[in-house]
Structure formats: C-alpha cells, structure tokens
Amino acid sequence: MNRSSSNHGLSIARQRFFAEGERPTGLVSNVILESWQRCVALGLAAGARPELEPIPSSALTELHDRHEILRRICRPELEALHADAHDTGAIAILTGPDGFVLDAVGDARFLDKAARVALRPGVPWSENATGTNAIGTALVERRPVEVRGAEHYFEPHRILSCSASPIFDPRGRLAGVLDLSGEASVQHVHALGMVRLAVDQIEHRLFEQVCHGREVIRCHRDAALLGTPREALLVFEGHRLVAANRHALELFGFGWDELGRRRYDELFAGALPGAGRDGLLRDHFGTTLHARRDGAATRIAVARPAATPRPPLPRAPAPVFDAQLDADLARAVRLLDADIPILLQGETGTGKEVFARELHRRSARAAAGFVAVNCAALPESLIESELFGYAPGAFTGARREGAPGLLREANGGMLFLDEIGDMPLALQSRLLRVLQEREVTPLGGGRAVAVDFALVAASHRDLEAAVAAQTFRPDLYYRIAQATVRLRALREREDRSELIVRLWTSLGAAAANVRLDEAALATLAAQAWPGNFRQLVGTLRSLLALAEPDSVVDVAQLPPNLRGAQASTPVAPSLAGAASMDELQRLAMQEALAACNGNTSAAARRLGISRSTFYRRLQ
C-alpha cells in the first residue's frame, strides 16, 4: 500500500471509529485499534489538545538520578540512533518504565517541533496520559510498536511517526523504552528495525552490568555469535533459572514468567563447560548449542582499573522473597486471578508495595497496568476526584475535558490502594459501591463507566481494630479482606543474616567486590530494624556508598547507633571523637545517608553541599 492510500484508509478508519463508533477492522492494525479502545475506555477525548506539562525541573533531576544507570547504558545507542537517522531529521528518545521522557537527542529543528507536542524530557508518554503512541503502546504491549501519523490517538500528534521498543532487564521487568520519532511526512523505512537492534545492544549491556560477578551461561547455535548481543544469556541460582535475556527466551520458547520456575535440567541435557571455557551443550530438543560459561570467580578476580568511575548504586535492590513470602505470593496470585481482592497488612517498610508489584508481575494481568494510589499521601480534598474522576467543568480548577480518575486508569490491570486505613469514611462508602457495582460515576455527573481491575489494598494499621474503633467501615473491610497476607516485621524473621547477604549482593556489592565481615554481618543481623526493609536497605546502601572497592566492611564502619555496646551513643560524641577531618566528614556523610535512607540528593541537601560535591567526596 502506498502512503497516500494508507493515509486515506486511516482517515476512513478514524471517521468510522471516532464519529460512528464502529470497529474499522482491516483499515488499521489490531494493535492500534485496541489501543484506541483503551483510550476511549479511559475517557480521553481524541479531538482535544492533551495537557502535557513537563514535571518541574527538580522532579526531572530526581527522575534522572533514579534512572542514572539506564541513561548511562543507553547513551551510546541514543547517539548512534540519532546519527543513523540524521538524514530523516528524527530524534532518539529514552523513557523510564513509566513512559516519562528522560532524554531526547536529535535535530534541533525537529526537537523544537516535537517540544510543541510535548515530546520532551519530563513529560509522560504513557498511553494513559498521551493516548495511542509508540512509547505508551509499546509499554502496554510489552513489544516493539510503530505508530504513524493519524494512528496517534490525539489529533495534534498526527505530525509524528514513531517507532519504539521496550527495554527489559534480566528479570523481565520493564526498564524503559527506546524510541525514534520523526515527521510523519517523511518516510522512516527502517526505523523500527534500528530501534530493535539498539535495544538488543542495550539489553546485552544491562545484563552484563546487572549480572556482573554472577555465573553467566552464554549460548548460540552459531559459534561466531557467542559474545555478541545476539547470544542467549542465562543465570541459574542453584538449579533454577533466575535471569535471562530475550534471545534466551526465544531459544527455549517461553516467557519471562517462567523465570524462577525452570530448572537447568529442563533446558539442557548434559553438564556445563568448565568455568571460563567454551564448549558444546545440548538443549532439551537435542539441538547442539555453542556455550560459554563465565565463572563468577574469574569475573570477580578481574581487577577494576583505578580510574573507572564508580557505577551509581541501584536505588532499590531486586526484591528478595524467602520461602514463606514465595508461598504467600503463589497463593495470592491464585486468589487474585480468581478475582478475589487481597489485603496486605504489615508495619511500615515491610515491603507491602514491593509485594503488590510482584503479585502484579506474576498475575494474569501482568501485561496491563499497575496503578498505585497512596490514600494517606493524597489530600482529602483531592482524593475523591483523583480516584473517581470528574466530568467536564465539575468544579473550579478542574480540567476542561474532565479526568477519568485512577480507578478507570486501572481498568484491565491492577489497582493498589496503599494505606487504605487512612481513607476518609465518606470515601470508603463510595469505594465500596464501586467494588460492588463494578462501575464508576465521575464527580459532577456523567454516565457510569464499567471498570474491571484486580484489587490489592494495604495498610500498616490493624484494620480489624480500626473497624472495632469505628474508623473503618466493616462492610468495606469484609469486602477487601477476603484474603489477607501479613508481612512480617524484620525483627520477627530468623533469616536476617541470609536476607542481608542477598540484599547486599543485589545492591552491587559483588560488582564492587565489597564484603561484609562476619562480625559486621552479625551486628547488622542482631538489630531490630523498626523501619524494616526501608531502614535496612538505606543502611546497606550507605555502607556500600562509603566503602572502597575491593574492601571489607567491618564493625567500625557501621553507623554508631548500630555498633553493639555503643548502640545508644548519640551522634555528636562519635563525631567529636573522630580522628581526622576526613573521618569527621565520613561520619557526617554516613549519618546523613542513613537518615535519608541512602538517598544521596537528600543527604547532600541535609549537609548543605551540592550533590556533585557529595559524590566527589564519596570517591
């Protein structure tokens, strides 16, 4: 089909879909059609100009900080994509896993034009915010997507032609999206292919970085492709497959959800080649594969050049679940898939949100969205409109075209209502009605819209006690508490040493070759950790940030409040007793990092120095 006839077909498709409410099958691909339908269900008005304001610059800096590793890994491909597409004037874009644009590299003229439709850093290009578009739709579909001209949901975006591919980490979690966008009037013939190749490179590099120090098995049918981004990469823990890249999934023919389930002997027949060696392996179909095994020991032994800049610490470790949590997760997934809501109870920091996200990842609704609402963080005056949405002109200050609300945004996916115990009583009744009737009526009138989402609610309050105290409605309680999971406080767990070792490794300690000595580990494991995971992870991040590469952390390096007999020693005397300016500085930074849960920006602000100075002093 040439372009003018395909444009004509698209105009007819739009007319039929938007004006006549028909399904224009055959005129537009199913991916686009399904996306349009999702946008309609969200209440987005295709003819309107979407209000897409970038987040404030301080929030963008924070976003950049959070995705520093991803940005660094993707930079070469962003530059290369832009260079390859230079003739077409297209721009290369990187977004985070939520669709927020992190970087845009390209031709100044088109950058300018793109900025007019808000295709610039700090603006969300998720489908919920921006309608059908390559970035948002690739995030929903979890696969590469092309969206050209009038296939975009919103009229003003017709000027764009975009090709995007999601980027997955070795555990199958979305890390971000790479996109190439240009003018719809220019042909971008190989755009999607270029983006896919670039993502291949990125995922390969991400895998190397995340799994550095682990024993990685590389294989391919063709020996010449071993060591290239086309090779399959696999990591086993014991006998279980815990990480893989897309090529491995393709080779063995299963999806990310099989990670953690498949065993070595289900994939391969015969033993691995020796560590650090090449050899032959047979897969379970009997096909011969060329394989290479990177021994963990060999990799760790490679000395880090002194001048190598330290990679930033991951903000959060990969979730760690013990056997009990794994069993809770498996049970909760079955219940959730049978449409039974789950209530998570546990003290602050016990990982309720982490648990809920993992539930989503393992559930039948994993491909659809995860919408998290913190009922305690939303001001009471806003919570109603945020949750239930509002009709056009419902109240002063409302957006002209109204808003669908978070309950409708969760349609098809999972709604996570955090701190539900803090929801005002009047709203509890409204929420109950939605859960019973499975439809939402926006504030200020309008017709009720059907919603279908899996519900996970959480609270650190004892909701049963709140019902007895009449601060929580019993009928809502019985509705949401059909299946309850109690997340244990860390002080109740006997496996704290093992947990600390796993978190320590996951935070990058193996990559930097920083060890905790036995006494330090025992001291950390003996703590009660009233802030639970949040406090423990914050402390481990601080220790790692301050440790030299290839070193051992001992008890003397632990924050004073954690050091056995000195546990109750106030901060000031320990600072006063420090030996040198360097030691003083080190202690002050350590205290600040611990107080800010390992957030370096916040710790730098606390000390009144810039973030770059803080980093420099950490080197």
Ligand X SMILES: Nc1ncnc2c1ncn2[C@@H]1O[C@H](COP(=O)(O)OP(=O)(O)OP(=O)(O)O)[C@@H](O)[C@H]1O
Alpha-carbon span 582 to 585, nearest angstrom: 5
Minimum distance of ligand X from residue 500's CB (angstroms): 11
Only one of the segments 81-89, 164-172, 292-300, 532-540 lies at the binding site for ligand X (rule: CB under 6 A); that segment is 532-540
Alpha-carbon span 593 to 334, nearest angstrom: 40
Long-range contact pairs involving 8-16 (C-beta distance under 8 Å, separation at least 24): 10/149, 10/150, 10/151, 11/150, 14/150
* Interface residue with ligand X, options 188, 352, 473, 541 (CB under 6 A): 352
Alpha-carbon span 234 to 292, nearest angstrom: 11
598 scored as a contact of ligand X (CB under 6 A): no
Only one of the segments 166-174, 282-290, 352-360, 379-387 lies at the binding site for ligand X (rule: CB under 6 A); that segment is 352-360
In the bound state with ligand X, the residue whose beta carbon lies nearer, of 403 and 509, is: 509
How many residues at the interface with ligand X, by CB under 6 A? 18
In the bound state with ligand X, the residue whose beta carbon lies nearer, of 141 and 353, is: 353
418 scored as a contact of ligand X (CB under 6 A): yes
534 scored as a contact of ligand X (CB under 6 A): yes
Stretch 321-350 residues interacting with ligand X (CB under 6 A): 321, 346, 348-350
Among all residues, whose Cβ is closest to ligand X?
Answer: 351
In 3D, which of 177, 231, 174, 236 has the Cα closest to residue 205?
Answer: 231
Site string for ligand X, 354-393 (x = CB under 6 A): x---------------------------------------
* Interface residue with ligand X, options 148, 290, 360, 460 (CB under 6 A): 460
68 scored as a contact of ligand X (CB under 6 A): no
Only one of the segments 62-70, 172-180, 314-322, 546-554 lies at the binding site for ligand X (rule: CB under 6 A); that segment is 314-322
Do residues 536 and 521 lie in contact, with contact meaning Cβ atoms separated by under 8 Å?
no
In 3D, which of 255, 256, 279 has the Cα closest to residue 268?
Answer: 279
In 3D, which of 176, 171, 104, 119 has the Cα closest to residue 142?
Answer: 176
Pairing assessment for the beta strands 414-418 and 370-374 based on DSSP bridges: parallel
Phi and psi based region of residue 505 (left: phi greater than 0; alpha: psi -120 to 50; beta: remaining): alpha
* Interface residue with ligand X, options 316, 522, 546, 578 (CB under 6 A): 316
In the bound state with ligand X, the residue whose beta carbon lies nearer, of 80 and 316, is: 316
Phi and psi based region of residue 227 (left: phi greater than 0; alpha: psi -120 to 50; beta: remaining): left
Only one of the segments 116-124, 232-240, 508-516, 530-538 lies at the binding site for ligand X (rule: CB under 6 A); that segment is 530-538
In the bound state with ligand X, the residue whose beta carbon lies nearer, of 166 and 351, is: 351
In the bound state with ligand X, the residue whose beta carbon lies nearer, of 122 and 346, is: 346
| Three-class SS of 70-134 | HHHHHHHHHHHHHHHCHHHCCEEEEECCCCEEEEEEECHHHHHHHHHCCCCCCCECCHHHHCCCH
| Per-residue tokens: 368 | 């659809």
473 scored as a contact of ligand X (CB under 6 A): no
320 scored as a contact of ligand X (CB under 6 A): yes
| Per-residue tokens: 38 | 């999702």
421 scored as a contact of ligand X (CB under 6 A): no
- The helix/strand/coil state of 273 is coil
* Interface residue with ligand X, options 97, 99, 319, 442 (CB under 6 A): 319
537 scored as a contact of ligand X (CB under 6 A): yes
353 scored as a contact of ligand X (CB under 6 A): yes
Query: CB under 8 Å to 524, separation ≥6 — which residues?
Result: 496, 500, 516, 536, 539, 540, 558, 562
Residue type, 180: L
In the bound state with ligand X, the residue whose beta carbon lies nearer, of 267 and 500, is: 500
Alpha-carbon span 383 to 405, nearest angstrom: 10
Give the binding site for ligand X (CB under 6 A).
Answer: 316-317, 319-321, 346, 348-354, 418, 460, 533-534, 537
